[in-house]
Amino acid sequence: MTPKKLQIYSTPISEVVLIATQSHEDERGVFYRGFCDHELDEILMGRTIRQINLSITHQVGTIRGLHFQHPPYAEMKMIRCIQGCVWDVVVDLRKESATFLQWYGVELSGDNKLMIVIPEGCAHGFQSLIGKSELLYLHTKPYVPTAEGGIKYDDPSLKIPWPLAIAEISERDCSFPLLNENYQGIVL
């Protein structure tokens, strides 16, 4: 069996893309390529994957985010739901971006096998649509606690329509600030 090439789709947010892969299924189960650096050269542009993380969210309706890292530790993330289903959201915080302060949401699931690529300077969050949803994260920078940033998930200026009633959210995520009219964005 020869794995099929990854397919890359643009989104309304500058440099945020979706990656789809075809799977091979037979009597043994399913195989699909989760990541292939040489097929993503045009996206990675010399970056390397520095860490891989897994989050498991047990309760339907849980929100995590909206998170990012400040420069010089701003990171590109590649995120795939490997089990369950989430509504994944990206907010463009890059001051010089044509899509500054715009957001994009997409359903990621173990069934659709989509991966979202989120560039440096964008915030990320998600809401679990199914219990025990698992996300696999590939990061181009290590986690630096002092560089951690976030914006509040229900910021009225963004008007993100989370699809479900909020069942759970951490105190930390609730304490992130709202954007104000003077927000200057992230300069990379």
Active site (annotated) includes residue 139: no
Please, which residues bridge with residue 128 across strands? 86
Strands 85-92 and 122-128, sheet pairing: antiparallel
What letter does residue 163 receive in the DSSP assignment? S
Q: Please say whether the dihedral angle defined by the alpha carbons of residues 107, 48, 41 and 25, taken in this order, is positive or negative.
A: negative
Catalytic residue among 24, 32, 70, 137: 137
Catalytic residue among 24, 67, 73, 183: 67
Sequence-distant (≥ 6) Cβ neighbours of residue 14 within 8 angstroms: 92, 94, 97, 98, 99
User: Which tokens in the block code for residue 12?
Assistant: 């309304």
Rounded CA-CA distance 127/139 in Å is 20
Active site (annotated) includes residue 183: no
Active site residues: 67, 137
